[in-house]
Amino acid sequence: MNATVGAAIDRAKSQGRAALIGYLPVGFPTVAASVEAAAALIEGGCDIVELGLPYSDPVMDGPVIAQAVTAALAGGVRVDDTFRAVRELSPLGAPLLVMTYYNPVLRRGVERFAGQLAEAGGAGLITPDLIPDEADEWLAASDQHGLDRVFLVAPSSSDERLALTAKACRGFTYATSTMGVTGVRSQLADSARVLVERTRAAGAQRVCVGVGVSNPQQAATVAGFADGVIVGSAFVKLLVAAPNAAAARRDLSGLAGELAAATRG
């Protein structure tokens, strides 16, 4: 049985903290190096890892992540490389969510994609451009293969939309802290706290916050009201800046450790 996201978040909650969820794209700077980088996140304290499947039209990605994804695509990364990364990382024990736009799933075939992800040891998918109303095939495939499914809500989401999304999610509901693309931000909007409260009121069992969380202070703030803290651009920024693989592993593990400590605050 693959490690489940919900169990990891519940375990963190039983320890009096929020879960730490780290994101990195597969294939940057190479597939092997991206696997090593993701392993560093787990070693540093990430409870769950999001592995980004590079896509040519990443409408939600900010400039830091887009730079890494573009380089990965130029290097020839493919969908099968994501399954390879999942397979190599799954023995480390942290649940692995693939974050992907829906078109690559459709092109592979939803049932086939789900089966290959489950076989590799993946926990499920985060699909930022897919809404539950249009996800019948994915809902069925994820049920068939026991995969978690994470949909996004935003401050602009209506109460009806929040309820529909919360009901469709398994693992957690992804609350975007602000409108717009991913990226490091100096401050997090109060709308994040309000959105978490509204999403819980709409029936969500677990709500994790991403888009803009970049430092321990922000992580501690989000951990005070959410079930999980999602960090992406801050990790990718370190990976982009690292002069070599050893430095990347050290820096990524170090930041993950600082953020994990902050979630206990």
Which active-site residues does the annotation give?
Answer: 50, 61
Q: Closest Cα partner for 21 from 100, 96, 101?
A: 96
**Contacts of residue 175, Cβ cutoff 8 Å, sequence gap at least 6:** 152, 153, 154, 192, 195, 196, 199, 207, 208, 209, 210, 226
Q: Tokens standing for 207?
A: 């709500």
Task: Indicate the Cα dihedral angle 246, 250, 253, 258, nearest 10°.
Answer: -170
State which amino acid sits at residue 233: S
Contact in structure between 227 and 205 (CB atoms under 8 Å) = no
User: Cα–Cα distance between 233 and 66 in angstroms, integer?
Assistant: 10
Give the Cα separation of 156 and 88 in Å (integer): 38
Dihedral sign, CA of 124, 161, 173, 256? positive
